[in-house]
Each structure stands twice: as structure tokens, then as C-alpha cells.
Structure 1
Amino acid sequence: MTISTPPTRLTLDELGEGLGRAATVLRANAAAAGLEAPVPTCPEWSVRDLVAHIGMVHRWAASQLRSTPVEDADALEREGLASPDLLGWFDDGATALLQAIVDAPDDLDAFVFLREAPAPKVFWTRRQCHETTIHAVDALAARLGRAPRPEETWISPAIALDGIDELLRGFVPRPKQGVSPEVATTVLVCPDDSDVAWLLDLAPDRPARTARIDRASERLPRGEHVLTGPPVGLYLRLWSRADPPTSEPADGFERWWRSTVTVTWR
């Protein structure tokens, strides 16, 4: 059977804790790497660009939670880039975001932009948890000078599984993501030691379809491509934050994935 609910298995508190920890890790690694250091996992960015971007996203998300949406998000990013204390500016934005989550009513009526989304307050906490976690991996990569290995990160399997779910069921089916192979194919994403898997149905000229599978109640379906491994490793691979494998057939598929699946922040 496919699972239709809940949209996330994590609680609001767990997502908020994940967001706060990722912000701390991002800040520490950005400071250690230096603002002019290159970001290997985002080759066009310096750490300065990275911090200004995530600080802008935090402020934009907080405005949604406060029901006072920011109209010009680019102006916020320019503000960060111009700040004489960029890391302090980042701290202010992260703190304001966490406070906006605390202050928002549980029945918040706000904009959301992903499929299979939870209620708005949980949606924004979840989205910023993973936005910040992935960009904290970028800051770690800047400090290391390479993509980090899963065991070098702080990410828990529970956060990783939730992030995979958000990516595959929320982002990938969006038409604007452009996931359209030349021929129809299916991809089974099957994390180790987990009771959940995902089957992606990809075809030319239509949005992708993703089913979340309960491994406890049904035999796994077949996929033409199968991705397995520990949850944190799969999270990094699917978000293109790990070095690609060099063996076939994984190499060919993941090269296609990296060149095809692009995630926009809103």
C-alpha cells in the first residue's frame, strides 16, 4: 500500500530542533572556512554568497510565518552581502525565524508551495529545517574543501529520511523542476534499515509521480533503477551533496539525476 498520511513523521519540535542545530553548524563552518572560501558543492558560490542566501531565505520564511510576506527577497540578499557583519546578520535572521515559528498559531493560514505539504506552520518549519541542513552541508564542504562523507555530518537518520521524503514527494513532482527523461523509467529509493521507500515514475513531457511505500505492509515494487544505502548517504546523494559514485549503472543514473533535478528555493 502507499502511505498518504502523515505528510511528515517528525514533530514540530523535532523539525525545529533540526533547524536550530543546522543553523549552528552552518555558522560555525562558515566562520572556520572564511567568507571568501569557495563552496565545492555549490561551485558558483563563495561562503559569503552561501550565508547571504540562507539568511535571505530565513527572513523570507519568517515573513510567511508572520503573515507579512516579503515582496522583494532579492533585496534581503543584497542587504546580507552588504553587511559589515554577515555572520551576525545571519544569526539575527535565524533567531527571528525560530521565534516566528514559536509565535505562529497552529492553525496558521499561509502560503505553501510543495505537493504533499503539511499544515503551514509545520510546512515552513520542515522546509527551513532541510533548507538549512543542506546549506550547512555546503558550509562544511567549504571548510573541508570537498563534499563531506555521511559520517562527517551531524545529520540523524530521521532527519535524512524526512528530507528524502520532502524532496521526492514535494519537489520532484513539481512541473517547474523539469524532471523529464528521454524515455519512461522508474526509480526505487530504498534506504537501509528503514520501513519506508519511494517509487518514482518518470516519463517524458509530464510531471514525475512519487509513491511512498510502507515496507512493513507490502513487498517492494520493482524499479528500473534502485538506490540503496544508509539514509544520510542517500539524503546527500539525492540532494547532490555527495561525490558521485564511479561505478555503473549508478554513475550513469546519478549523472542524469544531477543534471536534471534542480531544486528552487521557493
Structure 2
Amino acid sequence: MDTAVHIEAIRRDGPLLAEAAERAGLDAPVPTCPEWRVRDLLTHLGQVHRWAIRYVAEGLTEPLPLSTAAGPEGQDLVEWFRDGHRRLVAALAAAPPDLACWTFLPAPSPLHFWARRQAHELAIHRVDAQAALGAEFSPFPADFAADGIDEIIVGFHGLATSKARTRTPRTLRIRATDTEDVWTMRLSEEAPRTIRGLGPSKGTTADGAGDVEKEAVDCELGGDAGSLYLVLWNRLPLERVSVTGDASLADLWRKKSTIGRRG
């Protein structure tokens, strides 16, 4: 997906989140993040946006701790979030294509990484704000949702830190019915290895290592990309997608797929 599409997604979701947060109220609980209230959600995102801005605007090549600077009290917190969001969009839009800076997931370029990561960070937390309001979730374009699925299962769960592991080798397939995207996760005692883009008989490993024959799987999750996106981020229940095969593998995902809050 093009970097400009990610930046436009950030531009779109920021106001939706701010509006939902403002209407819900700062003390409203966030049911999709049970330990948080809306003020915690806004504070987290304001910190993440300012952290990301530094990499993009300053070209920092070494990791720095996530900002812990607290936002203002009361309703000014919403405007503080809006200000950080506007600055993030501006920094990404102004960054040169050959931006060099630190990243933590594989990407075609550092600019692509930061635009993509912040687009999905904001999209998922926009859902959290709408959940706090008790509102329907604004839908995602199918290709954007599929891109978010790819980021979590190929990106985050391709890292050595992934906890999605099994004692014996198992396979979990994710099939987006509206985009025809398919991913097959090979689970074992090691970090998952994902095959993406299965055709009639073969797929290509996510790391580009070569073709892999299509294989039978132990469990498959299927549904539209938007539903799968939110199920895989544990924002919707498994009942919102189809589960075929060994459902215990889907349950394992729910329990083991949480990722650290790196932004």
C-alpha cells in the first residue's frame, strides 16, 4: 500500500477518534482496553505521535524511549491530542522519500514504516474510542484492513518477541473473503513464519525465500478484511468471523497475540 494512502488514513481517523473521545468523556471506560479510560487512550496516543514525529522530523537513527510527557488536564487533553495528530500528519507529508531513521519492523523505507505503523496504531485506537462511546465502528477500506492484517501477522509476529507459539508444529490460515488475501502462519516453538499470497497451488514466503507448496492447515479464520483486522487485534470477538478446524488454535491466538505498546 502506498505511503500516501497511509497518511490519508491518519488524516481521516484522527478527527473521528477525537470526536468519539470528546462525546464519551474523559472518564469513560474503554471496553476494548479494560485497564484504560478515555483519558489514558488520549494520553497514550499523544505520546506516541510526539515520539514518532521526532524520528520523522529529526531523522533519529537510534531508538529513544516512548515519551512520558503527560498532556493537560480536562478537556484541553482532547486539543492536545488533536495538536499532536496535526503535527504527525504534517511531518509525514513533508518528509523526503529517502528519509533515513530508526524503525522496528521490516518496510520498503523508513517513511513507509512510520506512515504505516502510525496509520494502524491510530485506526485500532479510533475503534477503542468509538467503543468507549458505545458507537458503531466506522468501517475501514478493505485494502487498508488487509494491510493491517499483514502488519500484525507478518510484521509483529515475525519478530523473535512473538508469543504466538505452540509446542508442536501447527498451521493457522487467515483468509480475507473480500480481498482474496490469504496468509498461512506456521506456528511452532519458534517465532511464527508466515506465507502470504497463496495461489492455486503455491505461495511465497513473507521473507521472499521462495515458493512453498499449498498445505492443509489445522485452523482457518475467514471473513471480510475489516472483521478479521479487528478480530486479530482482539477488538471484536471470534464469533464475528468463521472458524473452521481446530478452534483451540484460534483461542491460542486470542491469548498469545498481544504485542507490546511500542507505538
TM-score by length of 2: 0.87
The 1:11/1:216 distance shift into structure 2, 3 A limit, reads: farther
Tell me the amino acid that sits aligned with residue 66 of structure 2. Answer: A
Among the aligned pairs, what percent are the same residue?
A: 35
* Separation (CA, whole Å) in 1 of partners of 2:131 and 2:83: 23
**Paired residue for 1:63?**
54
SS at structure 1 position matched to 2:153: helix
Aligned length: 248
* Separation (CA, whole Å) in 1 of partners of 2:72 and 2:31: 20
Quote the offset at 1:187 in angstroms: 0.7
Residue 28 of structure 2 corresponds to residue 32 of structure 1: no
**Paired residue for 2:102?**
111
* Separation (CA, whole Å) in 2 of partners of 1:35 and 1:68: 34
**Paired residue for 1:262?**
258
Quote the offset at 1:82 in angstroms: 4.7
Structure 2: state its 5+ residue gaps: 204-213
* Separation (CA, whole Å) in 2 of partners of 1:84 and 1:188: 44
The 1:84/1:193 distance shift into structure 2, 3 A limit, reads: closer
* Separation (CA, whole Å) in 2 of partners of 1:143 and 1:84: 16
* Separation (CA, whole Å) in 2 of partners of 1:42 and 1:183: 31
The 1:83/1:121 distance shift into structure 2, 3 A limit, reads: farther
Tell me the amino acid that sits aligned with residue 58 of structure 2. Answer: S
Structure 1: state its 5+ residue gaps: 1-9
Given that 1:177 and 1:261 are in contact with CA atoms closer than 8 Å, whether structure 2 keeps it comes out as: yes
Residue 181 of structure 2 corresponds to residue 188 of structure 1: no
Q: Which moved more, 1:52-61 or 1:181-190?
A: 181-190
**Paired residue for 1:140?**
130
* Separation (CA, whole Å) in 1 of partners of 2:48 and 2:71: 11
* Separation (CA, whole Å) in 1 of partners of 2:165 and 2:259: 14
Tell me the amino acid that sits aligned with residue 215 of structure 1. Answer: G
Given that 2:7 and 2:89 are in contact with CA atoms closer than 8 Å, whether structure 1 keeps it comes out as: yes
Alignment RMSD, CA only?
2.3
* Residue from 217, 223, 227 that aligns with 1:233: 227
* Residue from 213, 216, 221 that aligns with 1:222: 216
Task: Indicate the structure whose relative CO is greater, using CA pairs within 8 Å and at least 6 residues apart.
Answer: 1
Q: Which moved more, 1:46-55 or 1:253-262?
A: 253-262
SS at structure 2 position matched to 1:190: strand
* Separation (CA, whole Å) in 2 of partners of 1:59 and 1:250: 43
